[in-house]
Chain A
Amino acid sequence: MNRYLNYKKAFGLYMHIPFCQSKCNYCDFYSIKYTPQKMREYVDMLKKEIELYADKLINNRCRTIYLGGGTPSLLSPQLIEEILITVFNSFNVVENVEISMEANPESLTECKIKAYREMGINRLSLGIQSFLDEELKFLGRSHDVIDSINAIIKVEKHFDNYNIDLIFALFRQTFLNFVYSLNQVLDFNPSHISLYKLQIEDGTKLYKRFKDKKTNLISEELDYKMYNHAIKKLQEAGYNHYEISNFSRDEHRSKHNIIYWKYEPYLGLGPAAHGFNGKQRYKNYSNFRKYIYELKKGRLPVQDIIKLNKKEMIFESMFMGLRLTEGIDVEKFKSKFDVSIFDIYNNVLQELKEDNLIVVDKKRIYLTKKGLNLANLVFSKLIL
């Protein structure tokens, strides 16, 4: 048996829905233009991929389910339900499983929202990004602010657990414009907020426009001010800042995303998806036709298996784990890698501590406020 299929623990299940109405200016995720025929064909293949894994995996316990994209909400509730039924029929899904789905305002109707909730989806993640039309236009979103507000109002009715995505550090964005969008989000009081800094990725439309300003479209000071204002404001409003970019009310953290940060196993399905069994990672073909072709031949659409050595794994688990504000559990690190974190990183941890970037206590290692802002510096020092 292939080692990458050897899952010892329960996994989080990610399914990629690669369809979009149009590509956003900043997005580098894999997506293609949607047509009803392609969606039908795709859902059939995704079901086939699920069944192939069910056949090959010895341990098929599934802890979380996540439909990401692309734009999953472009799929009719009926197609989504077909996928989820196949998942439940094929894998051993835990009780009260978190089922998340990403959705864009323009593709949501109350009827659809209700249907998603009734079939069992219990968390929606909404790509709102901004509450100013001008900013939405800059980002190349296909909805306006009115669409967003209408969508949130309908989602609230049916979902008590939903996320709003917000992007900041846009070109020429002022502090007050950011504060405005943030306050709008707070007015809705969603159970979860993801706050992303706009990143100029290779191959995106923004990349072509801002090649020379790859890191910052606004000044570092303004970026710092926006981010730290948001942290303060959201904490005052009762949100728990549990990851560099993520905030939750009560216990509504994203269980699925925490799997990535805690370096635990996940299964990734769909074109360009990645999976990880705790030791090895695999990568699916990102070409839609190639993906379909492999499955039609009855093969898993895996393009590459990425083998990791221990040093790479330790480093990855460090920079993923430190993203969580609770940090890294020293005992868990030891049981995972069979070596003490202090033996490996002794001097570096000391240095980072002296620079007031991390806190080290007997049980945990986590970023300070300064460290949250300079996380890349901390991470790059942890490379082995």
Chain B
Amino acid sequence: MDCKQIRNFCIIAHIDHGKSTLADRLLEFTNTISDRDMKDQVLDNMELERERGITIKAQAVRINYKGYELNLIDTPGHVDFSYEVSKSLAAAEGALLVIDAAQGIEAQTMANIYLALENDLEIIPIINKIDLDRADPKKVKEQLLEIGIDPDEAILTSAKEGTNIEDVLHAVIKRIPAPQDNQSKPLRALIFDSVYDSYQGVIAYVRVIDGMVILNDQIKMMANDKKYEVDELGVFNPTRSSVKKLSTGEVGYIIAGVKDVKNCRVGDTITHIKNPAETPLPGYKKVKPMVYSGLYPSDNKDFNLLKDALEKLQLNDASLTFEPETSEALGFGFRCGFLGLLHMEIIQERLEREYDIDLIITAPSVIYKVKKKSNELLEIENPADFPQQSEIKIIKEPFVKAALHLPEEYIGPIMKLCQNNRGQFIDMQYIDENRVALEYKMPLSEIITDFFNQLKSKSRGYATLDYKMIGYQESDLVKLDILVNKEPVDALSTIVFRDNAREKGLTLVRKLKKTIPRQMFKVPIQAAVDSKILARVNISAKRKDVLQKCYGGDVSRKRKLLEKQKAGKKRMKMVGKVEIPQKAFMSILEREEDE
């Protein structure tokens, strides 16, 4: 196909603004998908994606319309996956910016708009959900003007009702530039996502930037020089269909016997072994996990099951890392690295749902950089591994720049929330007459606790958050230990800001008091820094647990009740003589409302 007839575009939107519904309508309108196969969120294959209404993996669909080849690249929208988003954007020449006519522009949308502008994408603003009573397209247009996008170019749609879908398609053809014709240059194909297929290995989603790739070509990955032969080429319309070649400007997939997604990283460039490109496409980096937590099978017997499951998930997700670790309290498990909290939740949920493993998850942690008095440098992912306070010279922790968008009536509580989480105010600007953008510098560790939940609850769901790493800085931090019945429980240790240690300790022991059931004896729960006790509560002894009505002949039922009671205890972890339920290890995550 002549480059002039090709248009490559993404859809960027905040969650729930109608991205997937608009994609559904485009596919329907162009008969890319028959009514019979149509289902909601057709591009979100994963059960989890459909349920949560989010996109985790990118998708690419070819739409044939009026002699044009339109490639729609559906991208994940969440901050955790911003690197993946940037690569999807780099694969396109234009983007549909979908904005909810009632909600307006959100923090994450802003982040993605900037990414799109950085990639020189032509942006087509789409004001969606105009069917809603609360829809206020005029206000959204003001917001667009505010951020430098021409509001007159906006298309008003209702993806739900199928209004003005044709206008969107015409705008894609008319306004988005065709790809540059670089047919004669050496091959450069950008990998913007990959999935693992148990029969064919890795399927790389690519955009051919320069040259062309033909079946049986000898190719290599430019990041690590691994060499392969192309077994299959194809496009999605929307299911996989193979083609003989992919040429400049086209979007499709390559299967080349790659066994491991680690060798087919997002952002890498594919070129030919003979006549290779001189330089790879810009912007490739190996994404590194930002958040770590310990994953333990609640039944120690499931350790190998967990290992297999993590290995399988990793086949599809090069950004997931895991290393075996041991905890005195929890036994054998893995320290896993994630891109962010959503990524962590997704992995946990998939392990429990798809692999049926009952998990205990420890509180998430960032990587701390510790310089000891001996000048030894440590990078610590697990609070339990912290050296003695007396050996530490400096601790550094990662900071982010957080952008928050919210209606102005919530400014007070949200600013207080940021300050309580060690946020340093940078800037505040009005996006329109009643929406505000706040900028704060904050430690990442504060954001990965339950900052997001609190943000949502304090703004009734109206505030949105985006953040960007800005590097490491020194902080006055201490390790807060939790002692249950006078024994320290390694899996409950956390790193906290020194001035907050007492308050956090008290909150934590109170929380544990609620989740740890009464034992036959009194159990003290203490929070300590450097073996100095900062807070203490007691769980009083269990006094009564007896089935008081027991006659009649159905003894089996009573036996089963007792057996069930015992089975429930199996899921508890014994720490010394105390049984601690799984949720106690998670309770550390949620913070009390600090009204």
B542, CB-defined interface residue at 8 Å: yes
Partner of A374, one of B520, B566, B569: B520
Segment among B337-345, B419-427, B555-563 that sits at the interface with chain A: B555-563
Give the chain A neighbours of B549 by CB distance below 8 A. 196-197, 199, 245
Q: Assess the A383–B566 pair: CB atoms within 8 A.
A: yes
A372, CB-defined interface residue at 8 Å: yes
Q: Assess the B543–A260 pair: CB atoms within 8 A.
A: no
List residues of B (553-595) whose CB comes within 8 Å of A's CBs: 553-556, 558-559, 562-563, 565-566, 569
Q: Assess the A281–B553 pair: CB atoms within 8 A.
A: yes
Q: Assess the A380–B552 pair: CB atoms within 8 A.
A: no
Residue of A whose beta carbon sits closest to that of B558: A319
Q: How far is the CA of A383 from the CA of B570 in the complex (A)?
A: 13
B548, CB-defined interface residue at 8 Å: yes
A49, CB-defined interface residue at 8 Å: no
B354, CB-defined interface residue at 8 Å: no
Give the chain B neighbours of A281 by CB distance below 8 A. 553, 555-556
Residue of A whose beta carbon sits closest to that of B547: A376
Q: How far is the CA of A200 from the CA of B546 in the complex (A)?
A: 13
Q: How far is the CA of A266 from the CA of B550 in the complex (A)?
A: 15
B545, CB-defined interface residue at 8 Å: yes
B551, CB-defined interface residue at 8 Å: yes
B544, CB-defined interface residue at 8 Å: yes
Contact A355-B548, Cβ < 8 Å, known A373-B543, A380-B562, A383-B566? no
B518, CB-defined interface residue at 8 Å: yes
Give the chain A neighbours of B547 by CB distance below 8 A. 199, 375-376
Tell me the smallest distance from the CB of A17 to a CB of chain B, in Å. 13
A178, CB-defined interface residue at 8 Å: no
Residue of A whose beta carbon sits closest to that of B542: A374
Most B CB within 10 A of own CB, among A197, A244, A261, A380: A380
Q: Assess the A260–B552 pair: CB atoms within 8 A.
A: yes
Give the chain A neighbours of B558 by CB distance below 8 A. 319
Q: Assess the B545–A377 pair: CB atoms within 8 A.
A: yes
Q: How far is the CA of A372 from the CA of B559 in the complex (A)?
A: 18
Residue of A whose beta carbon sits closest to that of B520: A355
Q: How far is the CA of A229 from the CA of B244 in the complex (A)?
A: 87
Q: How far is the CA of A220 from the CA of B562 in the complex (A)?
A: 19
Q: Assess the A220–B518 pair: CB atoms within 8 A.
A: yes
Segment among A143-151, A267-275, A330-338, A358-366 that sits at the interface with chain B: A267-275
Give the chain A neighbours of B566 by CB distance below 8 A. 380, 383
Q: How far is the CA of A315 from the CA of B520 in the complex (A)?
A: 22
Q: How far is the CA of A199 from the CA of B557 in the complex (A)?
A: 15
List residues of A (269-302) whose CB comes within 8 Å of B's CBs: 273-276, 281, 283
Partner of B544, one of A220, A245, A274, A319: A220
Q: Assess the A323–B550 pair: CB atoms within 8 A.
A: yes
Partner of A275, one of B543, B550, B553, B565: B553
Give the chain A neighbours of B544 by CB distance below 8 A. 220, 223-224, 227, 373-374
Q: How far is the CA of A68 from the CA of B543 in the complex (A)?
A: 33
Q: Assess the A244–B548 pair: CB atoms within 8 A.
A: yes
Give the chain A neighbours of B553 by CB distance below 8 A. 14, 260, 266, 268, 273-276, 281
Tell me the smallest distance from the CB of A100 to a CB of chain B, in Å. 11
Q: Assess the B548–A196 pair: CB atoms within 8 A.
A: yes
Q: Assess the B542–A372 pair: CB atoms within 8 A.
A: no
Give the chain B neighbours of A276 by CB distance below 8 A. 553, 555
Tell me the smallest distance from the CB of B52 to a CB of chain A, in Å. 26
Residue of A whose beta carbon sits closest to that of B554: A274
List residues of A (186-232) whose CB comes within 8 Å of B's CBs: 195-197, 199, 220-221, 223-224, 227
Q: Assess the A244–B518 pair: CB atoms within 8 A.
A: no
Tell me the smallest distance from the CB of B561 to a CB of chain A, in Å. 9
Tell me the smallest distance from the CB of B552 to a CB of chain A, in Å. 7
Q: Assess the A274–B552 pair: CB atoms within 8 A.
A: yes
Q: How far is the CA of A197 from the CA of B563 in the complex (A)?
A: 21
Q: How far is the CA of A376 from the CA of B558 in the complex (A)?
A: 11
Contact digits for A160-192, partner B, Cβ 8 Å, 1 yes 0 no: 000000000000000000000000000000000
Give the chain B neighbours of A195 by CB distance below 8 A. 548
Give the chain B neighbours of A275 by CB distance below 8 A. 553
Most B CB within 10 A of own CB, among A221, A283, A379: A379
Interface size on A (CB < 8 Å)?
A: 42
Q: How far is the CA of A283 from the CA of B552 in the complex (A)?
A: 12
Contact digits for A247-264, partner B, Cβ 8 Å, 1 yes 0 no: 000000000010011000
Q: How far is the CA of A275 from the CA of B520 in the complex (A)?
A: 36
Q: Assess the B543–A315 pair: CB atoms within 8 A.
A: no
Q: How far is the CA of A312 from the CA of B551 in the complex (A)?
A: 18
Give the chain B neighbours of A152 by CB distance below 8 A. none
Q: How far is the CA of A98 from the CA of B553 in the complex (A)?
A: 18
Residue of A whose beta carbon sits closest to that of B546: A375
Give the chain B neighbours of A375 by CB distance below 8 A. 545-547
Contact A319-B562, Cβ < 8 Å, known A14-B553, A199-B549, A274-B552? yes
Give the chain B neighbours of A266 by CB distance below 8 A. 553
Residue of B whose beta carbon sits closest to that of A197: B548
Contact A383-B563, Cβ < 8 Å, known A223-B544, A227-B544, A374-B543? yes
Give the chain A neighbours of B563 by CB distance below 8 A. 380, 383
Q: How far is the CA of A375 from the CA of B565 in the complex (A)?
A: 12
Partner of B550, one of A245, A306, A374: A245
Tell me the smallest distance from the CB of A265 to a CB of chain B, in Å. 10
Q: How far is the CA of A306 from the CA of B559 in the complex (A)?
A: 13
A65, CB-defined interface residue at 8 Å: no
Most A CB within 10 A of own CB, among B543, B550, B559: B550
Partner of A199, one of B518, B548, B565, B569: B548
Q: Assess the B562–A376 pair: CB atoms within 8 A.
A: yes
Q: How far is the CA of A245 from the CA of B550 in the complex (A)?
A: 8
Q: Assess the B555–A220 pair: CB atoms within 8 A.
A: no
Tell me the smallest distance from the CB of A210 to a CB of chain B, in Å. 17
Give the chain A neighbours of B548 by CB distance below 8 A. 195-197, 199, 227, 244-245
Give the chain B neighbours of A283 by CB distance below 8 A. 554
Contact A220-B542, Cβ < 8 Å, known A355-B520, A380-B569? yes
Q: Assess the A320–B552 pair: CB atoms within 8 A.
A: no
Q: How far is the CA of A14 from the CA of B562 in the complex (A)?
A: 25
Listed from nearest, the 6 A-B pairs whose CB atoms lie closest are: A274-B553, A197-B548, A375-B546, A380-B566, A376-B545, A196-B549
Binding site for A on B (CB under 8 A): 518, 520, 542-556, 558-559, 562-563, 565-566, 569
Can you list 26 pairs linking A and B with CB atoms under 8 Å apart?
A14-B552, A68-B552, A196-B548, A199-B548, A220-B544, A223-B544, A245-B548, A245-B550, A268-B553, A274-B554, A281-B555, A283-B554, A306-B556, A316-B555, A319-B559, A319-B562, A355-B520, A373-B543, A374-B543, A374-B544, A374-B545, A374-B546, A375-B547, A376-B545, A376-B546, A383-B562
13 more contacts with CB within 8 A, not counting A68-B552, A245-B549, A319-B559, are A29-B552, A199-B549, A221-B543, A224-B544, A227-B544, A260-B553, A273-B553, A312-B559, A373-B543, A374-B543, A375-B545, A376-B546, A377-B545
